[in-house]
Amino acid sequence: MIEATSSSQSGTDTTPERPEHGDRLEHGAPMNPDNNRDRCDTPVRLVVADLDGTLMHDAPTFEERYLTEHSIDAVWRMHDAGVRFAVATARPVSTGYDVVDRLPVDACIYLNGALIDTNPSASDVDMLTSGVLPDDGHLMKIGFSSRRACEVCRYLVHELPGLKIGIVMDDVRYTNFDVSVYWKTQTFVITDFTDVPDGVADKIIIFPDPYQWSVLGRLVPDDFSVSISEGSMWMLMNPQANKERSLERICASMNIPLSQTVSFGDDLIDIAMMRRSGTGVAVSNANPKVLAIADDICPSNNEDGVAQWIERHWGM
């Protein structure tokens, strides 16, 4: 099933227009009053934030995106006040760990939900990328067999010659294309999908050309869900691996009701998590569909919007 599609690639834009700055309501008010669930009186015990496009500032390249000291300080002050904090990102450990390590995280959702760490203080990079789960159960992998992933990759390449596709497993990308075109620092192995090691794959990544989009959508097997990140990268995943289900899992581990959570996002893959939270907050630079479902809107990622929302909400 396809959870999110990007109309900008399909050639038909059916999303609502992004509001002009003057059309937005005052900071802190919901963009669409019909979406306001009026939960201001509910105490917030957990805040969850996406990274790219939400908590992190933009930059010319993926590797140059960054957190400001303002945002880091605001999250720390909130955490010191007794509110738990989690990150929910599509990033793998290799590009997410150092960012997460600067924040007071009580849980971390990597790879859009394929890897969930409910006790980051007990984890390091080696543990997170080993493919071996610790006995205490604080790590969860939600994927599919690498053999099944290879079958799907071979099938899709046969049906769509030239398709750029790969398998992400334990922070290695097994691909038929040069990954460094998109990410400069991530480890990859060129393959024809006959020699990938056995294991639990996290996701299949695809960078389709525009003319391949409509055909690709019809070819995805039913045992995978599809999310599309930043309007370009398709991610085929276990249907249980997503930010919404991950939010439910970390709330269960912390014994926190979903109604007492706030989540921040900017992209289509954040929508289900934001709807599941007690309050879903969109940064003002978010995709129009995200803005349309948000309970609240804060300033953009490049204005430290999450930090500003935290400071306003807790009077910091």
Q: What is the mean pLDDT of each run of 10 residues along the chain (316 residues)?
A: 35 33 35 44 91 97 95 98 97 94 98 96 95 94 97 98 96 93 84 96 95 94 90 92 96 98 96 97 97 98 98 91
Residues 238 and 1 sit within 8 Å (Cβ to Cβ): no
Topology of the domain covering 41-127+137-142+241-314: Rossmann fold (3.40.50)
Q: Classify domain 144-237 at the CATH topology level.
A: 3.30.1240
Tokens at 252, concatenated: 């269960």
- The answer to whether residues 222 and 1 touch, using CB atoms and an 8 Å cutoff, is yes
Are 224 and 204 a contacting pair, CB within 8 Å?
yes
Q: Model's pTM, two decimal places?
A: 0.83
Question: Of 289, 291, 295, nearest to 277 (Cα)?
Answer: 295
For residue 34, give every residue at least 6 positions away whose Cβ sits within 8 Å of its Cβ, in sequence order, or none: none
| Domain definitions of the chain by residue range | 41-127+137-142+241-314, 144-237
Both tokens of residue 15?
A: 């999303």
Q: How far apart are CA 281 and CA 295, in angstroms?
A: 6
Q: Rounded distance, CA 316 to CA 314, Å? A: 6
- Mention every residue, 6+ apart, whose C-beta is less than 8 A from residue 279: 37, 39, 44, 261, 262, 263, 295, 296
Distance CA 149, CA 200 (A): 9
Q: What is the 3-state secondary structure (H, E, C) of the chain?
A: CECCCCHHHHCCCCCCCCCCHHHCCCCCCCCCHHHCCCCCCCCCCEEEECHHHHHCECCCCHHHCECCHHHHHHHHHHHHCCCEEEEECCCCHHHHHHHHCCCCCCEEEEHHHCEEECCHHHCCHHHHHCCCCCCCCCEEECCEEHHHHHHHHHHHHHHCCCCEEEEEECCEEEECCCHHHCCCCCCEEECCCCCCCCCEECEEEEECCHHHHHHHHHHCCCCCEEEEECCCEEEEECCCCCHHHHHHHHHHHHCCCHHHEEEEECCHHHHHHHHHCCEEEEECCCCHHHHHHCCEEECCHHHCHHHHHHHHHHCC
State residue 29's pLDDT score: 41
Looking at residue 186, its pLDDT comes to: 80
